[in-house]
Chains A and B, each alone.
Chain A
Amino acid sequence: GAGVSQSPSNKVTEKGKDVELRCDPISGHTALYWYRQRLGQGLEFLIYFQGNSAPDKSGLPSDRFSAERTGESVSTLTIQRTQQEDSAVYLCASSLAVSNQPQHFGDGTRLSIL
């Protein structure tokens, strides 16, 4: 399809393991966002990529979290040494860089830390 694609859709792992989440944005969208959404709560901004500019990492909750993006395509969010409080849905969104263009979201990765 033409939407934002995230994988895996579900991930269950043990505390202390590393996980890598993937996002394929809509083709041509230069802006890419990662959010976290805990059960029953709103969106928590994590990181923002815009073209070749330095990413805005101001929302990353700790140094266990990192993200990369290859050019204007795929992005990966990595969580090292996972903790139980990392359990959440991790959402990726992309948009055109033009002013006030809407963000389009994937269906997220549901991460469960045992």
Chain B
Amino acid sequence: DAKTTQPTSMDCAEGRAANLPCNHSTISGNEYVYWYRQIHSQGPQYIIHGLKNNETNEMASLIITEDRKSSTLILPHATLRDTAVYYCIVRVHNSGSARQLTFGSGTQLTVLP
């Protein structure tokens, strides 16, 4: 799976959009971009994933650049409950074998009141 690079930490004001970047310059054509987050004392939570088109769901939007070498997770109206470590993962489907997740260091997002 391709390596990802994320900032160590970010702050965001409550009610504003939180834009979390991720670089994945070695991504290959069949690798998806996934975002998870982990709130303190909870299990990781799936947020969104995409291949090359921008994606939106009830939690967030995922913007992937045309060359797919970077992406941005957007939380449109951050709340205090969005304070968490956010993980960007790039991975390919391996049919017939374990597709275990490996998290890097992630970005600690702190939403400020």
Contacts and interface: CB of A to CB of B under 8 A. Distances in A.
B45 interface: yes
A58 B46 contact: no
Most B C-beta atoms less than 10 A away, residue of A35, A56, A102, A104: A102
A99 B92 CA distance: 9
Contacts, number: 53
A31 B99 CA distance: 10
Instruction: Say which size band chain A's interface belongs to.
Output: 20 to 34
Interface of A: 4, 31, 33, 35, 42-43, 45, 48, 56, 58-59, 91, 93, 99-100, 102-108
Contacts of A104: 46
B103 A48 contact: no
A95 B84 CA distance: 23
Most B C-beta atoms less than 10 A away, residue of A58, A91, A105, A108: A105
Interface of B: 32, 34, 41-46, 49, 93, 95, 97-105
Contact of B100 (A33, A105, A106, A108): A33
Nearest to B39: A107
Nearest to B46: A102
B32 A59 contact: no
List the 10 shortest-distance A-B pairs measured between CB atoms, nearest first: A105-B43, A48-B98, A45-B100, A56-B98, A102-B46, A99-B93, A42-B103, A107-B43, A105-B44, A100-B93
B58 to A, nearest CB: 14
